[in-house]
């Protein structure tokens, strides 16, 4: 028995100690021996948790139904009068009661994870693609909300200066109005000529002015 | 009562009267000092190219060059509701006006007179006071909301200024890297030259008086503020001016360019070269709704 055969046999064997071939290989192979030692440790820990974490029969039934719908369970393997599939008098679904049964769950769990990851990646790439296809560059369309730009929310600023004197508050409000007008004008010029580099620079400078307004309002030295 | 007793009573009364009078005199001497403010002096020995940072919510800061590698700070505190925190860390001096509970713009005011080595980099911050720096060749960074800013006689250094509505005056900066951001304050640059001179203002006016140096980039931009550049006849510059809703005026003869990358609209744009093209700086004047005026300086 080589390493591949041993690792394949682990999932099929209820108790590794029963296999003479396994024992013979483990005596000569340090890596497999270490692997089995780790598996034994995990299995022992899993057994301790089994009583508390055993899923309810409804869970098993749901899994069975799903597997049957996917054609992964053959009808011939299901015992008469039971909802649980069987193989050689035992449940097809591995039970945590067997020492190496956890390994049998590895394949379906890995498959489910792969499917989930695949679905996520596909959906994500679709969203990205849609975004690329439908959304023009922000600097060209000028369709950028103030809040999207570094969180420059006007209400935040007004709230920040609320503790200042009425005159100072009026100054900030006035400057906020001016800088917003600056941004709108810059946007309109960029929209009129997206290739105008100076116009794009103006838009950036307008946002820079607004950022500075926020910086001054939130300055640490203000009482 | 014996004569000896009377003598003792008289001497005692005289001593008591003297003590009371001295106490009253002392009190009248202390009272004016408190009204004028408490003086605090600090002195730090630093190395070359030291950094000095002053953060003063209320009050003025004035920085001048010292002799030698020493930082001297003279602070006048308006009341006991503010104190001066100072820290020397390596080659850096940090000064902070620390407002105590109950302090306001009057009682929390501190006015600083600071001497720093000429090569020191300084960062000054005040909300309401004036900020002034002169005769330095280290980097100068000044920030203030309503603070007026006055920078003069700086060479081979970065000058960065940010204000909300305080006026900014920068005079005689040579070979500088100057960046001014002001929302509504008036910005005046007088004899300011360097590789980069940039002013961005939202609603404040921008005034440039000088010759734009040589081979520098000068960008004066406003949203609604007017831009006025007054130059001598000897100026060499590639000038372009554009406004969206304002006006442009040009009193200086410019050699028109054969090719421009933006459309020329009468009254809204102009572009051209003045003086020697080989020594010319690039000048961009841009406003959305303000007026742009390039005028020739009359010799007086």
- Read off the pLDDT of residues B92-145 as tens digits, 9 standing for 90 and up: 999 999 999 999 889 999 999 999 999 999 999 998 889 999 999 999 999 998
For B140, list phi and psi in degrees, rounded to 5: -125, 120
The answer to the question of residue A222 being in a domain is no
Nearest chain B alpha carbon to A189: B244
In angstroms, the Cα distances linking B129 to A168, B108, B142, B151, B227 are 14, 12, 12, 14, 26
Is A119 in the same domain as A180?
A: no
The answer to the question of residue A51 being in a domain is yes
Residue that wins the pLDDT comparison between B159 and A7: B159
| Structure tokens given for A9 | 């046999």
Residue A46 has pLDDT above 90, yes or no: no
Would you say B123 and A219 are in contact if contact means Cβ atoms under 8 Å apart?
Answer: no
Residue B18 has pLDDT above 80, yes or no: no
Looking at residue B85, its pLDDT comes to 96
Other beta carbons within 10 angstroms of residue B32's beta carbon come to 8
Instruction: Provide the ipTM.
Output: 0.71
* Spatial separation of the C-alpha atoms in residues A134 and A126, rounded to whole Å: 12
Residue to test with chain B: of A200, A219, A220, most B Cβ within 10 A = A219
Is A7 in the same domain as A91?
A: yes
Is A84 in the same domain as A124?
A: no
For residue B81, give every residue at least 6 positions away whose Cβ sits within 8 Å of its Cβ, in sequence order, or none.
B99, B100, B101, B102, B103, B104, B107, B108
Looking at residue B222, its pLDDT comes to 95
Nearest chain B CA: its distance from A222 CA (Å)? 6
Across the interface, which of B164, B223, B242 has its CB nearest the CB of A181? Answer: B223
Nearest chain A CA: its distance from B43 CA (Å)? 24
Residue B33 has pLDDT above 50, yes or no: no
Instruction: Report the number of distinct structural domains present in chain A.
Output: 3
Looking at residue A86, its pLDDT comes to 42
Looking at residue A49, its pLDDT comes to 57
User: The pTM is what?
Assistant: 0.64
B 148-167 residues inside an 8 A Cβ radius of A: 162, 164-165
Bridge partners (DSSP) of residue A111 are: none
Q: Measure CA of the first residue to CA of the last residue in chain A; give whole Å.
A: 78
Tell whether B168 is within 8 A of chain A (Cβ): no
Residue that wins the pLDDT comparison between B4 and A213: A213
> Are B224 and A178 inside 8 Å of each other by CB?
yes
Is A39 in the same domain as A8?
A: yes
Looking at residue A65, its pLDDT comes to 73
Nearest alpha carbon to residue A171 among A124, A216, A113: A216
Nearest chain A alpha carbon to B162: A212
Q: What is the mean pLDDT of residues B37-44?
A: 94
Chain B residues within an 8 Å CB radius of A189: 244, 288
Three-state SS at B226: coil
Residue A111 has pLDDT above 80, yes or no: no
Is A113 in the same domain as A186?
A: no
Looking at residue B289, its pLDDT comes to 92
Is A174 in the same domain as A213?
A: yes
Nearest chain A alpha carbon to B202: A179
Give the CB-side neighbour count of residue B278, counting CA atoms within 13 A. Answer: 0
> Are B55 and A179 inside 8 Å of each other by CB?
no
Across the interface, which of A196, A198, A209 has its CB nearest the CB of B181? Answer: A209
Nearest chain A CA: its distance from B88 CA (Å)? 20
Is A57 in the same domain as A67?
A: yes
* Spatial separation of the C-alpha atoms in residues A13 and A220, rounded to whole Å: 68
Chain B residues within an 8 Å CB radius of A196: 262
Is A123 in the same domain as A151?
A: no
Chain A residues within an 8 Å CB radius of B221: 202, 205
Residue that wins the pLDDT comparison between B296 and B50: B50
Looking at residue A143, its pLDDT comes to 45
Residue A104 has pLDDT above 80, yes or no: no
Residue that wins the pLDDT comparison between A43 and A155: A155
Burial A128-158 (b: 16+ CB within 10 A, else e): eeeeeeeeeeeeeebeeeeeeeeebebeebe
Looking at residue B150, its pLDDT comes to 97
The answer to the question of residue A223 being in a domain is no
For residue B256, give every residue at least 6 positions away whose Cβ sits within 8 Å of its Cβ, in sequence order, or none.
B271, B272
Where along chain B do its domains lie?
1-35, 37-125, 148-300
Tell me how many residue pairs between chain A and chain B have CB atoms under 8 A apart: 84
pLDDT tens profile A175-201 = 888 889 888 888 888 888 887 777 788
State the pairing for strand pair B237-243/B269-274. Answer: antiparallel
Mean of all residue pLDDT scores within chain B: 88
Residue A48 has pLDDT above 80, yes or no: no
Looking at residue A175, its pLDDT comes to 87
Would you say B224 and B287 are in contact if contact means Cβ atoms under 8 Å apart?
Answer: yes
A3-12 vs A30-53: helix crossing angle, rounded to 10: 20
Burial B55-64 (b: 16+ CB within 10 A, else e): bbbbbbbbbb
For residue B198, give every residue at least 6 positions away whose Cβ sits within 8 Å of its Cβ, in sequence order, or none.
B178, B179, B180, B217, B218, B219, B220, B221
Across the interface, which of A185, A189, A221 has its CB nearest the CB of B55? Answer: A221
pLDDT tens profile B195-211 = 999 999 999 999 999 99
> Are B183 and A222 inside 8 Å of each other by CB?
no
Output the DSSP codes for A66-81: HHHHTT-S-GGGBPTT
Residue that wins the pLDDT comparison between B130 and A44: B130
Residues of chain B above pLDDT 90, percent:
69
pLDDT tens profile B172-187 = 999 999 999 999 999 9
Chain B residues within an 8 Å CB radius of A171: 146, 164-165, 184
Chain A residues within an 8 Å CB radius of B99: 223
Nearest chain A CA: its distance from B26 CA (Å)? 36
Residue A136 has pLDDT above 70, yes or no: no
Is A75 in the same domain as A95?
A: yes
List the single range of A4-8, A108-112, A150-154 with lowest mean pLDDT. A108-112
The answer to the question of residue A153 being in a domain is yes
Which domain range does residue A72 map to? 3-104
Looking at residue A166, its pLDDT comes to 84
Is A69 in the same domain as A158?
A: no
Residue A118 banded pLDDT, cuts 50, 70, 90? low
Residue A63 has pLDDT above 70, yes or no: yes
For residue B192, give every residue at least 6 positions away whose Cβ sits within 8 Å of its Cβ, in sequence order, or none.
B170, B171, B172, B173, B176, B178, B208, B210
> Are B164 and A216 inside 8 Å of each other by CB?
yes
Looking at residue A131, its pLDDT comes to 44
Mean of all residue pLDDT scores within chain A: 67
Is A28 in the same domain as A88?
A: yes
Residue B4 has pLDDT above 70, yes or no: no
> Are A175 and B223 inside 8 Å of each other by CB?
no
Edge-to-edge strands of the sheet including B292-296? Answer: B38-45, B70-77, B110-116, B61-65, B131-136, B149-155, B168-174, B187-192, B206-209, B227-231, B292-296, B248-250
Looking at residue A55, its pLDDT comes to 61
Residue A42 banded pLDDT, cuts 50, 70, 90? confident
Q: What is the mean pLDDT of residues A20-38?
A: 80
């Amino acid at each position: 028995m080589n390493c591949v055969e041993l690792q394949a046999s682990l999932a099929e064997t209820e108790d590794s100690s029963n296999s003479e071939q396994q024992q013979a290989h483990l005596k000569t192979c340090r890596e497999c021996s270490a692997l089995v030692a780790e598996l034994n440790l995990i299995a022992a820990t899993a057994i301790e948790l089994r009583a508390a974490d055993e899923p309810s029969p409804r869970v098993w039934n749901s899994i069975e139904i799903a597997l049957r719908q996917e054609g992964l369970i053959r009808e011939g393997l299901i015992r008469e009068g039971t909802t649980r599939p069987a193989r050689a008098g035992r449940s097809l679904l591995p039970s945590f009661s067997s020492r190496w049964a956890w390994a049998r769950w590895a394949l379906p769990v890995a498959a489910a994870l792969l499917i989930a990851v695949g679905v996520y990646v596909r959906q994500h790439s679709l969203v990205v693609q849609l975004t690329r296809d439908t959304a023009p560059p922000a600097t060209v369309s000028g369709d950028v909300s103030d809040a999207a730009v570094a969180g420059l929310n006007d209400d935040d600023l007004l709230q920040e200066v609320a503790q200042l004197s009425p005159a100072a508050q009026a100054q900030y409000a006035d400057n906020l109005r001016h800088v917003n007008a600056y941004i709108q004008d810059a946007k309109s010029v960029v929209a009129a000529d997206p290739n105008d580099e100076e116009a794009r620079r103006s838009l950036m400078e307008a946002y820079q002015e607004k950022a500075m307004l926020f910086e001054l309002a939130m300055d640490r030295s203000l009482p | 009562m014996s004569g000896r007793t009377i003598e003792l009573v008289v001497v005692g009364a005289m001593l008591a009267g003297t003590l009371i009078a001295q106490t009253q005199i002392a009190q009248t001497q202390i009272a004016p000092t408190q009204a004028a403010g408490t003086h605090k002096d600090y002195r730090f020995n630093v190395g070359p190219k030291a950094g000095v940072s002053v953060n003063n919510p209320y009050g003025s800061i004035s920085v001048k060059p010292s002799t030698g590698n020493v930082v001297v700070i003279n602070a006048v505190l308006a009341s006991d509701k503010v104190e001066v925190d100072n820290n020397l860390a390596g080659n850096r001096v940090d000064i902070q006006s620390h407002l105590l509970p109950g302090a306001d713009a009057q009682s929390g005011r501190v006015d600083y007179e600071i001497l720093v080595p000429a090569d020191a980099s300084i960062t000054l911050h005040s909300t309401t006071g004036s900020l002034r720096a002169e005769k330095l060749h280290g980097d100068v960074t000044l920030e203030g909301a309503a603070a007026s800013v006055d920078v003069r006689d700086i060479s081979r250094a970065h000058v960065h200024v940010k204000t909300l509505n305080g006026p900014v005056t920068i005079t005689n900066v040579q070979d500088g890297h100057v960046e001014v951001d002001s929302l509504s304050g008036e910005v005046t640059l007088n004899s300011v030259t360097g590789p980069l001179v940039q002013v961005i203002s939202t609603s404040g006016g921008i005034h440039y008086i000088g010759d734009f140096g040589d081979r520098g980039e000068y960008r004066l931009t406003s949203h609604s503020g007017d831009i006025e550049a007054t130059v001598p006849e000897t100026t060499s510059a590639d000038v372009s001016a554009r406004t969206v809703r304002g006006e442009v005026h040009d009193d200086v003869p410019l050699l028109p360019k054969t090719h421009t990358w933006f459309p020329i609209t009468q009254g809204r744009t102009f572009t051209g070269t003045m003086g020697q093209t080989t020594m010319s700086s690039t000048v961009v004047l841009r406003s959305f709704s303000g007026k742009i005026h390039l005028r020739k300086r009359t010799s007086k």
